[in-house]
Structure 1
Amino acid sequence: MDLKLSIAKLAMVALVVAAPAAEAALTCGMVASDIAPCLNYIQHGGTIPPKCCNGVKTLDDAADTTEDRRTACTCLKNLLSTNPGINLGLANSLPAKCGVSVPYPISPSTDCTKINK
């Protein structure tokens, strides 16, 4: 009985230790949430809200693998195409204005599959 209890405890510890590695990668929901405070700015211009730059930086920090960067790129392209009135110049310049370097242009024509770093 003690052996069964020890095996059960070991299995629980293994699940807890493995849990962080099993966390979901970047999703479009995460991208949309991070970028939502920027929508008014990239549609109308003006002053960039602090929450917008915080979201841009959060997104940049979360996109730490090639696959995450490709996902972020694809999600941003989808956001551009589903939100009318977005000023592409403002959208493309936003990362730099927030102090973030993005390895691809924020544009509906960007080929996200070619992002390698």
Structure 2
Amino acid sequence: MAGFGEVKVVCLVVIVVVAVAATAPQAEGAISCGQVMSSVAPCLAYLRGSGPVAASCCDGVKNLNKAAATKPDRQAVCGCIKSLAPSVGAKPDLINSLIGKCGVALPYRYSPSMDCSK
């Protein structure tokens, strides 16, 4: 079982994927924080500034982006990332750059003050 710190890290990476594309309260059937964490876990070193972007990181980001097809899903991912990114040491500029490095197009950028309810 993953430790609390590892869980925070995974959620942080999720921010990159669905970062600002999410908003509003979480609805039934939305993506869980556990799903987000498992998708972005390979990105942790990069997001902390201590490693390259691994292929498995981009695979997770792309899969998470595809899975977050509905507004409630995007909101759930956003909320998870927003709450955990700062506590795991993820750097906002690296969160935002990860999206482009993995070839994922999002109309928003991550910010610690982003509103996941819109």
Shared fold (TM-score, shorter chain, > 0.5) = yes
Structure ID, larger Rg: 1
CA distance in 2, matches of 1:36, 1:65: 22
Query: What is the aligned-residue identity percentage?
Result: 47
TM-score by length of 1: 0.71
In structure 2, the gaps of 5 or more residues are: 1-27
Cα-to-partner distance string for 1:39-78 (whole Å, 9 max, x where unaligned): 1001015421001000100110110001101111111112
Higher helix share: 1
What is the root-mean-square deviation in Å for CA atoms of aligned residues?
Answer: 1.7
Q: State yes or no: 1:39 paired with 2:57.
A: no
TM-score by length of 2: 0.70
Aligned partner of 1:98 in structure 2 is 102
CA distance in 2, matches of 1:81, 1:46: 18
CA distance in 2, matches of 1:66, 1:54: 22
**SS of structure 2 residue aligned to 1:67:** helix
- 8 Å Cα contact 2:39/2:64 also seen in 1: yes
In structure 1, the gaps of 5 or more residues are: 1-22
Q: Which runs of 4+ in 1 moved over 6 A?
A: none
CA distance in 1, matches of 2:29, 2:71: 15
Aligned partner of 2:83 in structure 1 is 78
CA distance in 1, matches of 2:105, 2:81: 15
The structure showing larger relative contact order (alpha-carbon pairs under 8 Å, at least 6 residues apart) is: 2
